[in-house]
Structure 1
Amino acid sequence: MRVGRMKTLVVALAALATMAGLSTPIAAAQPTRTTPLAAIEALPKPNATPVGALETLQAANDTLTKLGISPFLWPTAAPFCSDTGAPLGIVPAVAGAVPGPYTPILKSVPPVLGHDFNTVKSGEVLYGFVPVGIVNDSGDKSGMNVAWFNVNKFTGGIVPMGSLTDTVLKPITDEATALGLMNNPITKGLFVSAITPLTAALNSLPQAGVRAATVKTDKGLVLSAILGTAKSGTGTCFFLPTVGIQQVN
């Protein structure tokens, strides 16, 4: 790498580190559509509402909001999943998506020397899934899936979801490694400083049952559904499908 190019890269990474350090790690982004909580509150009320049901759903929705992820059209739930006394053992959950270019917490990171360090690139979508009531998923992050279809391109597929932290951080680290930034002590130090607030913010969010996936959908109108299973202790919870629509640019 040329000296001039290295100096420019160091300055750009320093600016990125400063931006990350000054950003509020879990600043709430405003949802762009009706929240799942509002949708549930608008439904006809039964004689008695399960204690804490709306509050726990709001907690899940808050996690999506902190990540800047817009909720899907309706929430979902897994019956016979909880032994906490909820009717039918129901565990509520919300899901959502955000198209790129985007990085949770930091929002959109500007290009550095023509390289996009965002977790989600243009033509990609980040999906998130947050249940409330799963306290131990035994480290097994498999089971939840994203089914998607691009209406404009007539393409689609099914993609497994995984750990929130791995989904968000791995693309950034892979990009830095591919560019050789991790081989130079100066650029490596700046890179680590830049993503430290992001790492800390992600680790502060609930992890049990939380899933994420980045999908290359290409540009266009994308219909999406999230469904599948999540471990809860020694049991398995099946979450009914929830659906969303994203305009990917």
Structure 2
Amino acid sequence: MSVLRRVIVLAAALTIPLVALPAANAAPGAADPQPAHSGDIPSQPASTNELIEAYQGAIERLRSFGMNPFLYPTASAFCVGGSTLGLAPALGVAMPGPWPKTTLAIPGLDLTAAKAGQTLFTFVPYGLGPDSANTSGMRVAWVNLGTGRSGIAEMGPLGDIVRAMIPPSVPAEIRPAAEQAIQQFFFAALPVGGVRAVPVDTGSGTVLAAVYGTVDNGGKSCFFLPTVGITAVA
């Protein structure tokens, strides 16, 4: 087996639980989506081809929402139950702005989480429980290869992104409905627990980034090794 094929198989083995991604998402109209559970992970050993197909399926699902997965996945050992070594797989994702691209217009709402010249970096783990009060720990280190600009940004919970998309001018009585509508869009593409994101003013050009850090999973600190990606920002 070639080195490249071995890398693909390893990546697939880490991310095969993502084939159960729809089970982790909110059902349409659900106000309180349930998190994914490690019990959803298939218990039967998968063949090499099945692993590769599962990994590619997870990647294509993210791409269908305009998300650019990083070059390879990451994982945290002894983080969840029901899998070998308690591995919790995860992907890094970049969404160059403006994102999301939609024709839907709602008066008073800017439905772009990443503006032009920005990149929305997102950390997407699988199998983690609902977020605790501690949502710190994940970071993205980035560099714009064209301009030389660089930095390190702290990532926060997805709720921060949702709230930032709703301007203060929106009346308080309709803010919950607006937040729920935006959350349903994100939950259609992403698991519930442990997702972290941050919009960064990277500027236009080719941006290289690494996402890494820790996520609290039910009182257990899960460390995720760096995953690296590259994306073009218009």
Tell me which residue corresponds to 2:68. Answer: 70
Task: Kindly indicate whether the alpha-carbon contact (under 8 Å) linking 1:64 and 1:95 is maintained by their aligned counterparts in 2.
Answer: no
Deviation at 1:71, TM superposition (A): 0.6
Which structure 2 residue ranges, 5 or more long, are not aligned? Answer: 22-57
- Once superposed, which parts of structure 1, at least 4 consecutive aligned residues long, lie more than 4 Å away? 109-113, 191-196
Identity of aligned residues (%): 37
Deviation at 1:41, TM superposition (A): 9.8
Question: Are 2:17 and 1:56 aligned?
Answer: yes
Matches within 5 A, 1:39-188: 42-43=5-6, 54-59=15-20, 61=58, 64-65=62-63, 67-84=65-82, 86-103=83-100, 107-108=101-102, 117-167=111-161, 169-174=162-167, 177=168, 180=169, 182=170
What is the Cα-based RMSD across aligned positions, in Å? 3.5
Tell me which residue corresponds to 1:208. Answer: 193
Higher helix share: 1
Counterpart CA distance in 2 for 1:139 and 1:206 is: 18
For 1:42, the aligned partner's letter is: R
Counterpart CA distance in 1 for 2:76 and 2:207 is: 25
Counterpart CA distance in 2 for 1:248 and 1:224 is: 12
Q: TM-score, normalised by structure 2?
A: 0.67
- What do the CA deviations read for 1:68-99 (whole angstroms, capped 9, x no partner)? 31110000011222232x33222111111110
Counterpart CA distance in 2 for 1:147 and 1:225 is: 5
For 1:173, the aligned partner's letter is: I
Deviation at 1:118, TM superposition (A): 1.7
Which structure 1 residue ranges, 5 or more long, are not aligned? Answer: 1-39
Q: Which has the larger radius of gyration?
A: 1
Deviation at 1:192, TM superposition (A): 7.9
What SS does the aligned partner of 1:56 have? helix
* Aligned residues between the structures: 191
One of 199, 202, 212 as aligned partner of 1:227: 212
Task: Kindly indicate whether the alpha-carbon contact (under 8 Å) linking 1:57 and 1:94 is maintained by their aligned counterparts in 2.
Answer: no
Matches within 5 A, 1:9-20: none
Question: Are 2:183 and 1:199 aligned?
Answer: yes
